[in-house]
Amino acid sequence: MKNKYLHLITTTVLLCILASCRKDGGQLPSEEEQVGGGSTGKIKGLYVVNEGNMGSNKASLDYYDYATGIYKRNLFGETNPGIVLGLGDVATDVAIYGAKMYVAVNGSNLVEVMNARTAKHINTIKVPNCRYLKFYQNKVYVTSYDGYIAVADTGSLTVQTTIKVGRQPEQMAVVGTKMYVANSGGYTPSNYDRTVSVIDLNTSTVIKNIEVAINLDHIVADQYGDVYVTSRGDYYNISSKLFVIDTKTDAVKKQFDIPAGEIAINNDLAYIYSVEFNYNTGVNKTSYTLLDVKTETLLNRSFITDGTEKDIKTPYGLAIDPISEDIYLTDARDYVSSGMLYCYDKTGRKKWSVTTGDIPAHFAFLYQ
Amino acid sequence: MKLTVLFTPLKRSGHGLPFQFAVALFAAALWCYAPALAQVKKPVNSQNSDTTRTLKEVQINAKRATVPNISPTSVQVLKGGELQRLNSLSVADALRYFAGVQLKDYGGIGGLKTVNVRSLGTNHTGVFYDGVAIGNAQNGQTDLGRFSLDNLEAVELYNGQKSSLLQPARAYASASTLYLQSKQPHFSNNERTHARVSLRSGSFGLINPALLLEQKLSNTVSGSFSTEWIKANGRYKFRETNGTYDTSATRTNADIDAYRLEAGLNGTRPDSSTWTVKAYLYHSNRGLPGAIVRGRFDYAERQWDNNFFIQTSYKTAGKYYNLLINGKYANDFTRYLNPQYSNINGYLDNRYRQQEAYLSAVNLFHVVPQLDVSLATDLQYNVLKKLDADQYRFVYPERYTMLNAFSAEYHIARFKLQGTILNTLVKEQVKLYSGAANRNIFSPSLSAIWQPFKSNDLHLRGFYKHIFRMPTFNDLYYTLIGNTSLNPEYTTQYDAGITYHKLFEHQHLQKLSVESDVYYNRVKDKIVAIPTTNLFRWTMLNIGLADIRGMDLSIKTTWYGNQKLSWHTGVNYTYQNARDVTRGADSSPLQGQIPYVPKHSGSAIVGLDVSRLQLNYSFIYTGERYNAKDNIAANYVQPWYTHDVSASWLQGYHSCQLKFSGEINNLINQNYDVVIGYPMPGRSYRFTLSISY
C-alpha cells in the first residue's frame, strides 16, 4: 500500500507542476517599433489594417505616427479590451470619415466604427459578408458579397436602405452624384459577373449596368471624370486587365492589356501592381507599373526605382500619401506569417520597412 | 449544482436519464434471462463455469504481465481491457495516450479528429483496418473520430512500419502506421454464441447503443456482426475570455447522426490457412461547426458521408513459405452543403464519390532459419468523381499505383535486422487539362533490435526510413486551390530506442516497462493544410523544410496488492523540437516551432481494481504552441490539460456479465482550444451499460 500512496503523491506533484505551466489568458499587448525619421504636416498618421487569415480571427489594426516615426502593432485589442474576440475575422477595408474610422470585417459580418483619433470603439454596423466602404453626404456605403450595398447613416450608424447590385460586389468609386460598383461574381467561377453597376446617389437606384469584363475587383476615380476598374480574369486562360470608364457616357472608353491587381491614383499618376497566379502554369507573376491618367498612357516604368521590389513576395496593399507622395506598399508574404509594410519616397526609393500583422492590406490617412 | 449540469443535456433531448437506463436495463434483463429460459441445451453447471470463466478473464487481463514486444520499430499498443478502460469514445480519443502523437481535434463528438505522429504531418500516417489500408485519395486524411472503440480489440501505432514480413506493400508506404484491429471471435469448446449489447449516454445529448453478435457457424467458420448508432446534438458550453471580456456560449451545429454496420466471416481451412471477409458500412449526417470568430458563433454547413468497403484476406501457414492475399473495394461518398452561399444557386452543394480497388499478394520465404525474405506486390486504383451540377474545371482524376516491396530479415539469437526496398509507381490520368507527372520512386528502410544481455529485459532498437506521400487529389486538382506541379512530400526518420521490461515474482510490483526513443526527422517539400472558414476547404501551404528532434518516454507499472486489489500506472512524455527551417523566399524571419506542435506533451494514467470495481484516472497535457508559422505573441496558444476520471462496476448475472461505467471528462472544466477557434468541451459526463453473453 505504501507504494500506491507514493505513486499518487508523485502523480499529484507532477500534475501540479504541469498545471502551473498555464499562463493567465490576457490581452495581447501592442508593440512599438521606431521606423521613420518623423515628419510634421497636414497628415498626422497612417492606419494599417491587417486582414488576417479566414477563420483565424486575426484582423488587426496598426498605426504609423508621422511625428514620432513609431509604428505600433495590435492597437485595437489594447484600446478596446472589452470587445469580445477583438477586431474580428478578415478586415477587408478601412476608411476615415469625419471623426470616425470604419473597418469592414468580412468574416465577422460587421463594420467596426471607432473614434478616428483614439481607435476607441463606438459601435458596429451589421452588414453580412461586407467588403468595401465608401462615403457620400454623411452616409457610409458598404458592399456585401450577398449582392447589395448597405447604406447607413454616419450619425446613427444604422442601415437605412440597401441597393441591389451585381453578384459579389467589391470596391466602389464616386464621381459627382454617381457611384460605380465593381461586381465580381466570384462565388460562381463558372459564370463570373461582368458588370459595373451605376447608382444614382440621389435616388439610391441602379441606373445602368456597364458590361466590362469578368471578375471585376478594384475601381477608382481620377480627377478627369474617369473611373479605372480592374478585372482579375479567371486565373486560367483569361488574364487580368485594366479598363477605363468615361462617367459622362458611362461606357468603357479604353482598355489596357496589363495585369492589374491593385490601383491607387494620386493627381495624374496611377500606381498599379499585379500578382497574377495562373493555374495552368502554376506561376505567380508580379509586376509594378505607372500610368498617366491625364494622357491615359502607360509610362512603362515601375514606381519602385531602387530594385528593392525583389524583397517583396506578395504585394497586397497600396496607398499614396497625397501630400508627400510617399508610396506605402504591403507584402502579405505567404499569407500565414507576419506581413511587411514598405515606404518609398516619391522617386521610388525605399525609406523604411516594418513588420506588420498578418496580411496587411488597407490604409487610412489620419489628418491633423 | 453538478447534478443539474449532469441531467440538462438529456432533458433537452426529451428523455430523462433514468428513463433511458430503465429501457436499457429492461432489454438487458430480457437478454440475460432468455438463455436461462432455454437451458435445455446446456447443463446448469456448464453455464456457471462460463460465468466464472468470463469474470476471471477480465481480472486476469487487467493484471496479466504480457511478453515484452521486440519490435525494432517503436510500437505502442492499447488493447482489450486497457483500451476499454480509457475514457474514450473513438480511436482518436485513445490515441491521445500515445507518446509522440498530436491529435488535431476540432471539438465535440462530430468534430474532425486527425492525428499527427512525430510532427511529420497528418497525411503521413497510414491507417489499417484489420490489416488492410483505409485510403482517402481525395484529401489524404482519415477522420479517426469516426472509428468507435466499441468493436475494436486493439489499437497499435508503429513509427515507421510494423516489423512483419508478411504484410502488404502498402504497410511500408507511410512514415507511421496505425492498425485498428476489430474484435475477432474466439470460442471455447462448448460455446457457439457471444453477444454484447451496450448503451452509452451522457453530455452532448449522446445516445449510443451498440450490438455485437458472434456466432460459431461450424468447427472452422465463425461469423460476427456489429452495429452501433451514435446520435448527439453536440451542444456544449464554451467560454471566451481575455481577462476583460468573459463570455459564454453554446457550441451549435455540432450535431451528429451516424450508424455503423459491420459483418465478417472468419474461417480456417484443413491446411491451417485462414481466410476472412469483412463488409463495412458507415453513414453519417453531421453539422460542421465553424471557427468561433467575432460576431459569428453559428454556422449552417453540413456534411454527409457514406463509407462502404468490402475486404478479404487469405493467409497460408507453411513451414518454408507463406502467402498472404488481400483484396478490397471501397466506395466513399461525401456531400458538403452550405445552405447560405450567395452564388448563382444561393447555396453550395458539393457531392463527391471516390472509389478504390486494391489487390495485394505477399510471398514470404523462410530461406534458412536465420533468414526470411518477402516480396509484396500491391495494385491500387483510385478515382474521384464529382456528382453535383457544378462541374467547373473538375478534372475527374484517376490514379494507378503499383507498389513492390522487397524485404529481408536476418535474425540470430539476440539480434534482428530488417531491410526493405519499396518501389512506387504512380500514373495519373485526368479528363481535362493536364494531370500530375508520373512517379517512380524507390524508398528504403532499415531496422534492427539487439538484446545485449542474456536476460530478455533490455533491448536496444533503431530504424531508418525514407518515405514520401503523394499529393492528394485535392492538393493537385481542387478547383481554384489545387496545383498539379506539387511534388511528393518526403520524410526521413532516424530513431534509436531502448526498451526495458521486467517481470517480478512474489512482489507488489509485478511488472515494469520503460521505453524511450530519440529521433530525428526531416520533412522536405512539406505541404501544410490550414483550415479556412470551414473544415472542408483548406489553404494548402508548402512550408518547405522541417527539422524535428524528439524524444518519447513511456513508463508503465503493474502492481498487485492482494486478491482484491491491484493497480497499474502509465506515464508518457514527449519532447519535440520541430522547427520550420524553410530557406529562401518562403522563409519567415520569425519562423520557429511548427504550428500546433508543442515542445512538451504527455499523459498519465492510473487504474485501480478493487474487487469488481475499476477506477481510472487519466491526465493529458499539451504544452504551449503557436497556431501559425511565426512564433510570436499573436500566434501563441495556451497549454491545456484535462483530468478525466471513470468508475466501472462488473457484475455477473445469470450467464451474462454486466458492466456499468460512469465517466467525467475534463474534471476541472478547463476551457481550451486544440485548434484555434474550435473550443473544446468543458466538463462532460458519459455513462455506459453493457451486457456480455
Domains of chain A by range and CATH?
1-19+30-160+334-342+355-368 (2.130.10.10), 165-303 (2.130.10.10)
Min Cα–Cα distance to chain B from A282, Å? 7
In chain B, residues with a C-beta closer than 8 Å to the C-beta of A85 are: 240, 292-295
Q: What is the pLDDT of residue B82?
A: 85
The pLDDT tens digits along chain A (368 residues) read 445 555 655 655 555 555 545 665 567 889 999 998 778 889 999 999 999 988 899 999 999 999 999 999 999 999 999 999 999 999 999 999 999 999 999 999 999 999 999 999 999 999 999 999 999 999 999 999 999 999 999 999 999 999 999 999 999 999 999 999 999 999 998 999 999 999 999 999 999 999 999 999 999 999 999 999 999 998 888 999 999 999 999 999 999 999 998 999 999 999 999 987 777 776 778 899 999 999 999 998 999 999 999 999 889 999 999 999 999 999 988 788 899 999 999 999 999 999 999 999 999 999 99
Q: What is the pLDDT of residue A333?
A: 84
B350 touches chain A (CB under 8 A): no
CB-CB under 8 Å, A109 with B243: no
A347 CB-contact burial (10 Å; exposed 0-12 / middle 13-18 / buried 19+): exposed
The percent of residues in chain B predicted with pLDDT above 90, rounded, is: 68
Looking at residue B230, its amino acid is I
Identify which of B479, B532, B591 has the shortest CB distance to residue A54.
Answer: B532
For the segment B24-31, the average pLDDT, to the nearest whole number, is 44
B342 touches chain A (CB under 8 A): yes
Q: CB within 8 A of B8, min separation 6: which ones?
A: none
Q: Tell me: pLDDT of B42 over 50.
A: no
For the segment B35-47, the average pLDDT, to the nearest whole number, is 37
Which range in B59-73, B303-317, B381-395, B476-490 is most confidently predicted, on average pLDDT? B303-317
Higher pLDDT, B6 or B481: B481
Higher pLDDT, B563 or B52: B563
ipTM of the complex: 0.91
Min Cα–Cα distance to chain A from B238, Å? 14
**CA–CA separation, B70 vs B163, rounded Å?**
9
The string of DSSP codes covering B428-463 is: EE-SSS--PPPEEEEEEEEEEEE--SSSTTEEEEEE
Min Cα–Cα distance to chain B from A341, Å? 15
The string of DSSP codes covering B576-594 is: EEEEE---GGG--TTB-BP
Mention the CATH class of domain B2-692: mainly beta
Identify which of B531, B541, B634 has the shortest CB distance to residue A55.
Answer: B531
For the segment B418-430, the average pLDDT, to the nearest whole number, is 96
Q: Which of B294, B433, B483, B587 to mutate to test the interface with A (most CBs of A within 10 A)?
A: B294
Alpha carbon distances (Å) from B113 to A245, B93, B105, B144, B348: 51, 9, 5, 6, 24
In chain B, residues with a C-beta closer than 8 Å to the C-beta of A108 are: 293-296
Q: Tell me: pLDDT of B51 over 70.
A: no
Min Cα–Cα distance to chain A from B433, Å? 8
Q: What is the pLDDT of residue B141?
A: 83
For the segment B232-249, the average pLDDT, to the nearest whole number, is 93
Cell output for B366: 523462410
Cell output for B327: 483484396
B604 touches chain A (CB under 8 A): yes
Q: What is the pLDDT of residue B29?
A: 43
The whole-chain average pLDDT of chain B stands at 86
Q: What is the pLDDT of residue B17?
A: 40
**CA–CA separation, B571 vs B186, rounded Å?**
32
CB-CB under 8 Å, B483 with A282: yes
Q: CB within 8 A of A313, min separation 6: which ones?
A: A331, A332, A333, A334, B585
Min Cα–Cα distance to chain A from B280, Å? 35
pTM of the shown model = 0.89
For the segment B311-339, the average pLDDT, to the nearest whole number, is 95
For the segment B170-188, the average pLDDT, to the nearest whole number, is 93
For the segment B65-71, the average pLDDT, to the nearest whole number, is 58
Strand partners, A151: A141, A161
In chain B, residues with a C-beta closer than 8 Å to the C-beta of A236 are: 393
Q: Tell me: pLDDT of B32 over 80.
A: no
Domain boundaries, chain B: 2-692
**CA–CA separation, B55 vs B46, rounded Å?**
14
Q: Which of B292, B338, B342 to mutate to test the interface with A (most CBs of A within 10 A)?
A: B342
Cβ atoms < 10 Å from Cβ of B349: 16
CB-CB under 8 Å, B632 with A358: no
Q: What is the pLDDT of residue B539?
A: 52
CB-CB under 8 Å, B641 with A189: no
The string of DSSP codes covering B184-200 is: PP---TT--EEEEEEEE
Q: What is the pLDDT of residue B532?
A: 36
